[in-house]
Structure 1
């Protein structure tokens, strides 16, 4: 005999049925809302490139003298890279590499533009430097051109140094060019202060400071284009020579020096060059802080306009800090050497990347990164259709996500004599190992950077197999990119 359901049983069944139907309807509503929501906007790109900034010149990288709260704050909200490199130990090749995603040897710009060509060589050196291209060819597809093709507004401010008029930023894909010309420094007018004497930068009030002006122009562009995807490329003239700072900042660091009273030697040697061992140059410190304040002005604008969460920010430098000549304003220790040298002080760079939703705040990566990687990384972030661009770099998205980056070796080739004491060299780094070849005498140096970041112990004789392996990879790469070698100097006098 069947029993009659009790009221409580019927009530339970009804309640369960109601909950199930409610859950289905709620799920359907969420799905409908998700499908009707606006698609996520294409990310903006802000790229800060600082001239001659050394690996140790930022607080978060270990400087205890320079004041860099804004870049330190960017690192706290993003990712700091410990093994990031410039494509060259001097400026123009690295800048060409960032613009094209290629090694400098591919585009022929292997020295800073303005350096003497071999047919004009006057120095008594064993080798004649290799010839190099003096402009970034218009046929190259630049980062700006690639992003314009993908619907971006493009802006450039600051140092260009990639060729004469006709090859300036406005000819290479940038809608706006503020101050980008052929010069390698702020050499017109009052240099770092208005009037600037720059044909692509109108003068401001007398005494206006260049890094602040460039930041203000960048902010103005961002405000005008906040409703569309944009590339804002702020390429500082700072902290390149001439060594000039605001007087208030110079006085600030003079007072700090008086309080600290550094112990130990200030100077050492790198080869035949005088080498600064301690960061205590007041003018240079003022230049670093002014650059940092300019970075802060742009980052504050992103916050104010509520663009931060949809903006990829990259901060880096074009070569190592100037430590062996031209005022010797900074120290790169514990790295060896500085600008113009193939040692770590000449090529290892600060690199901070903030990609909201991808990079973990305050994170760190030891992935190997080099200048050609920026263009493919940015295009991977943008993820919009456009012409395919052949690059030597790789996307570092996996590193930004905190995952391993399997990218193989990275290479350098500098067939020139720099102004800072360095001479023609080539190098390769793979994993912890780095090999340097000196072109004058064929000497090879091999370092394990995990154990010897200061490159003090040459292991070429103790590790013949590793030396042979890396040297072979370097030769193969030179051939692949069409690297031009220096040649014997017929006028060289060994007795001089």
Structure 2
């Protein structure tokens, strides 16, 4: 691949400003396109190792930029991670520690759960007093745009209340209430023609914004509802991936019991694969538009997800192998993400294994566009520009705090990563696990017992950071009994798991039909 050497206009402007004679025409700052995919697993794209999903457009971003192999979401579920991207703060600091709408305390217990702990309360909106990334971009002279999923606050705390000039589709909900085909049931997105694809609609809205603002610097934030459940696709894509799964060999069993729920073991869901491809098609539309408008060489593109792929709970959609677990889990599958930054002239498919976080996008983008950093705001983020240049950044601990159970079977716990070491503290019984990720990416070998001093040091550091941030912790449920929990788990193993296996094979059968004109994608004309 021919290496592109691009001097961004903001850099060129600084060079010109040192001369006696200013340029005749002010040079335009670089544009920014930020793409966020919901519930997108680490290996849900081919560039990160999938042999099943096909993502040529996502791969373009990665292969023309830098791939951060140890790139992380700030939380294992959506709302906290999303708040962290635009605030630059870890969830323990901004207070949104679970997906907004999750039950806490006794309300959690009354939902028929059989767990030992009562999850603590959390904040339900992103604080308005924060100066967010889009607000900082506006201060730097950027036109700002948001399309898609928001889910970090209700009315009064929507995208337009946190720095976005235009909002297409962002509101309270975390899933597409009307599904992936119009009508959408979204108060901030007008319905398209019946059967219109939601991901493509969001891409087209983004393209329209870019066309209308190509003569000014823009910050476009494309936040797909895909690939969150309910998983839906068109018949043609289902058929393509059903046949592909058969050609690859369909396993007799697809699930293995985790701590609380069965966990999907392979990527072989043709409906989910079709949903992934539809998202990738939409990404391609935006990338092609940038190229057609000659904006591609002056646009920074960031791509990531908000938490791991769903292996349990929700739609049981994917597998993150070789990573352990998925959305909602304390393991790498719950927090490690596709994490790409494409800066024209930098990266070109290089891989960087320095651990980085979603909180780092805020200062990184400010530095890339020549704006002044705001360390008092992006408290838990650092600029990744040195890494993009092939240099290094100071080693630092990364932490994750999730004192909840969630819907996917993960356990209330907090995590710290220092270098290649990862410590997990569990709140049910206080025990801790230690993994060396460089040698054990799948987290199969707990080294805590033979590294007691390291465990003590990392645990102390973890709780120093959590306490400094004002973290909240779970409490014991006085109504819990071991017998009730055992009964619940036996029901999951003996009743729920067989149903999941049956459903998996149904989706792979040649005569599968969801019975609703493929979720409304097939529109009949009178």
Considering the TM-score relative to the shorter chain, is it more than 0.5? yes
- Bigger Rg, which one: 1
Where do residues 88-103 of structure 1 align in structure 2 (5 Å cutoff)?
88-103=75-90
Where do residues 363-374 of structure 1 align in structure 2 (5 Å cutoff)?
363-374=350-361
Where do residues 210-225 of structure 1 align in structure 2 (5 Å cutoff)?
210-225=198-213
**Which stretches in structure 1 are left out of the alignment for 5+ residues?**
1-30
Contact 2:58 2:280 in 1 (8 A): yes
1:127 aligned residue (114, 117, 133): 117
Mark the CA change 1:451 to 1:193 in structure 2 (over 3 Å): closer, same or farther.
same
TM-superposed CA distance for 1:32, in Å, is: 8.3
Give SS of 2:59's match: helix
TM-superposed CA distance for 1:37, in Å, is: 6.8
Q: Give the equivalent residue in structure 2 for 1:118.
A: 105
TM-superposed CA distance for 1:374, in Å, is: 0.8
TM-superposed CA distance for 1:40, in Å, is: 4.5
Contact 2:363 2:373 in 1 (8 A): no
CA shift digits 1:116-155 (9 cap, x unpaired): 1224232332111011011112112111111111111000
Q: Give the equivalent residue in structure 1 for 2:35.
A: 48
TM-superposed CA distance for 1:106, in Å, is: 1.4
Give SS of 1:412's match: strand
Contact 1:124 1:491 in 2 (8 A): no
TM-superposed CA distance for 1:234, in Å, is: 0.4
CA shift digits 1:440-465 (9 cap, x unpaired): 00010000000000000000011112
Residue 430 of structure 2 corresponds to residue 445 of structure 1: no
TM-superposed CA distance for 1:34, in Å, is: 9.4
Contact 1:394 1:407 in 2 (8 A): no
Residue 169 of structure 2 corresponds to residue 182 of structure 1: no
Mean alpha-carbon deviation: is it higher for 133-142 or for 222-231? Answer: 133-142
Give SS of 1:461's match: helix
Q: Give the equivalent residue in structure 1 for 2:480.
A: 492
Rounded to whole Å, the distance in 1 between the matches of 2:309 and 2:377 is: 31
1:326 aligned residue (303, 308, 314): 314
Contact 2:86 2:132 in 1 (8 A): yes
Q: Give the equivalent residue in structure 2 for 1:242.
A: 230
Contact 2:366 2:373 in 1 (8 A): no
TM-superposed CA distance for 1:299, in Å, is: 0.8
CA shift digits 1:202-261 (9 cap, x unpaired): 000010000000000000000101111111000000000001112211111112123222
Q: Give the equivalent residue in structure 2 for 1:293.
A: 281
2:265 aligned residue (248, 273, 277): 277
Rounded to whole Å, the distance in 2 between the matches of 1:432 and 1:66 is: 29
Rounded to whole Å, the distance in 2 between the matches of 1:298 and 1:34 is: 38
Give SS of 2:333's match: helix
The Cα RMSD (Å) is 1.7
Rounded to whole Å, the distance in 1 between the matches of 2:187 and 2:343 is: 35
Residue 95 of structure 2 corresponds to residue 108 of structure 1: yes
Give SS of 2:387's match: helix
TM-superposed CA distance for 1:387, in Å, is: 6.6
Mark the CA change 1:328 to 1:166 in structure 2 (over 3 Å): closer, same or farther.
same
**Which stretches in structure 2 are left out of the alignment for 5+ residues?**
1-17, 485-526
CA shift digits 1:433-486 (9 cap, x unpaired): 000000000010000000000000000011112111111110111111111111
Mark the CA change 1:293 to 1:155 in structure 2 (over 3 Å): closer, same or farther.
same
Q: Give the equivalent residue in structure 2 for 1:82.
A: 69
CA shift digits 1:35-93 (9 cap, x unpaired): 64756421111000000000010100000000100111221211111000111100000
CA shift digits 1:148-205 (9 cap, x unpaired): 11111000000000111111111111111000010010013xx111011111000000
Give SS of 1:196's match: coil
2:369 aligned residue (366, 370, 382): 382
Rounded to whole Å, the distance in 1 between the matches of 2:400 and 2:463 is: 11
2:295 aligned residue (307, 318, 334): 307
Number of equivalent positions = 463
TM-superposed CA distance for 1:279, in Å, is: 0.5
